Amino acid sequence: MASWLMIVICFLAGKKTRSYQEFRLLNHLIAENVNVPRPIAAQAIKIGCFYRADLISEKITDAQDLVAILTKQPLSSAVYVKIGEEIAKMHRAGVDHTDLNIHNIMIDVDERVWIIDFDKCRYQAGQGWQKNNLARLKRSFYKEQKKRQIDWQEHDFSALLQGYYQNTQ
């Protein structure tokens, strides 16, 4: 079914549509053992000079984003380490998550970390962009701490970085 969907998308709107790119990117990340939602279907429908694109992915059951969790309770250092490990796996797979923030990281009831929302993300080579992702994520913690008084401290990000760097070397 997946190859049929890709053929349909290529025929309708080409490989440059966001839904097609995200579909491929998610499958690549799954192949690299990154916890992301499994894409089910994608389409792009040409409407005049424009197109409408859709992506359907599996629901991550019994999971909440970090904002929802941190407004109620703190996370353990072990969970922050897992978050860092998952981000490191994504980066090793060569994916630049251009909107990495605490709304796009989910934790399920088994404390598995999931990364979501890849619609504007891209494959990236070289160095530097990884630190930009991490800096964006850290700003997101600060922003939500001010906005929603989430239960987060600077040392929590240190635990996240510990998980990240022990898995990038």
Catalytic machinery residues: 99
CA distances from 18 to 26, 35, 83 (A): 12, 20, 26
Q: Is the dihedral of CA 36, 21, 118, 137 positive or negative?
A: positive
| Rounded Cα–Cα distance for residues 49 and 27 (Å) | 29
Rounded distance between C-alpha atoms, residue 6 and residue 153, angstroms: 44
**What is the distance between the alpha carbons of residues 148 and 133, in angstroms, rounded to a whole number?**
22
